[in-house]
Amino acid sequence: MPDLIAGVLHTQGLGWIALAAFLGGLVRGFAGFGTALVFLPVAAQFLTPFQSILALTFMDLIGPVPNLRRAWPQVEKGDLARLLIGTAVMLPVGLGVLSVVDAGVFRYAVSALALGMLLVLLGGLRYRGAVTRRMVIGIGGAAGFLGGVAGLPGPAVILFYMARPLAASVIRATTLFYLFCFDGLIIFGMGLFGRWESGAVVLGLCLAVPCMAGNWLGGALFRPSLEKAYRGLAYGLIALSALSGLPLWG
């Protein structure tokens, strides 16, 4: 273990990666989402694609645990089950694609998805029709594929819930449980693909500290009357991170 800790301390770009973990937690603290959108474009500049996703997964796995029991009664169980079915089917496909793509392509994909999600949020675009059970499974499949190939299952699920006439508390609880279950699935999937790296796991566990600190600070600073300002700051941080992650800059 001391050797693994020493390896983490010698990680290239560790300061930037830790800052991205803190800012990702900060954004989630006052916006309710965005950790991966902030973290991955920065981490992918210094880590391999699988290392980036593995570190993110373990960094983000611990934080929601205290909230799970309280959130469970509000979860839309049917949505959660169908999303996870689709995810379980398509996640291995995404991981298979990630196994053969170049690291530069991964960086482009992560930044493009983050910027695309940002544009959709800014434009207020959403699906207006009826949402069927098959569609929910399909959305889970899209989230699983994007989670496997780019570490970003959240955008598909967030866009799905922008079209659902559910209470905000139900949406938050269901999304919380979905992302927690996704973390478990991708850890299992990466194990099957032989992509577990102990150094990336320890790095992720260490990064949980700045990430949780950011979550706490964001939650403590949040004021409902300033929600638009906080969202504007969150969108700005996502855009800055996504643009910095493009391989155009070297």
pLDDT tens, position by position, 103-139: 888 888 888 888 888 888 777 766 677 778 899 999 9
Q: Which of 107-111, 236-240, 246-250 has the highest mean pLDDT?
A: 107-111
For 180-222, write each residue's pLDDT tens digit. Answer: 899 899 999 998 888 888 889 999 999 999 988 888 887 777 6
Q: What is the structure's pLDDT at 103?
A: 86
For 29-72, write each residue's pLDDT tens digit. Answer: 776 677 888 899 999 999 999 999 999 999 988 777 777 788 89
Tell me the pLDDT of the chain averaged across its residues. 85
pLDDT at 140 over 60: yes
Rounded Cα gap, residues 196 and 119, in angstroms: 34
Q: What is the structure's pLDDT at 104?
A: 86
Nearest by Cα to 209 from 12, 6, 19? 19
Residue 131 CB neighbour total at 10 angstroms: 15
Q: From its phi and psi, is residue 200 left (phi > 0), alpha (psi between -120 and 50) or beta?
A: alpha
More confident residue, 132 or 163: 132
pLDDT tier for residue 172 given thresholds of 50, 70 and 90: confident
Side-chain-side CA neighbours of residue 105 (13 Å): 7
